[in-house]
Amino acid sequence: MTGRTVDDPAADCADPLARALVSVAFATISERYVLARHQIAAALQDADGTIHIGLHLDAMVGRASVCAEAGALSAARLATGADLVAVAAVRYPKPTEPPVARIVPPCGLCRELLLDHAPNLRAVTPGRTPALAPLAGLLPHKYVGTKWPATPDHPYPARITPGTGDIPWT
């Protein structure tokens, strides 16, 4: 889209799932990149093997911006109720930056959001050899609310004993 060569960071991924997700996110942002509008794309795979994509939407008012991971989560939930397995996001370089696309982990807000909907989700993390890691490990002190009851598959809500303030993971 930008007329310059930017390599797919998926080539550095040893894990086949990580490589596939990064490649889809890279292809999406390579095609859809617009300076100051769309800089990151995300790919989210469900348990059925379908990959859902999302695109970062920048806004004049920063708070109104939407992360690519949130877009992919919304797309996944519109398409299926299947468990979500893994996510990857790729940031495309601005014209003033070296032509290197980067794997980026979900921001803190997206970590919270994704874990609310997929407590066992793994995320591709950057590094010399990008790898899949449990998203919960990237957010060790998840906010615990009481909006939803805890279930065996979704342990985050209701982990604090009401009235005690006890947090079991500290």
Neighbours of 150 (CB within 10 A): 13
Would you list the DSSP string of 2-70?
-SS--B-GGGG--SHHHHHHHHHHHHHHHHH-BTTTB-EEEEEEETTS-EEEEE-B--SSGGG-B-HHH
Q: What's at 129, amino acid-wise?
A: T
The answer to whether the beta carbons of residues 31 and 23 sit under 8 Å apart is: no
How many CA atoms lie within 13 Å of 147's alpha carbon, on the beta-carbon side? 5
Active-site residue flag, 69 = yes
Catalytic residue among 31, 69, 97, 112: 69
Residues with a known catalytic role: 69
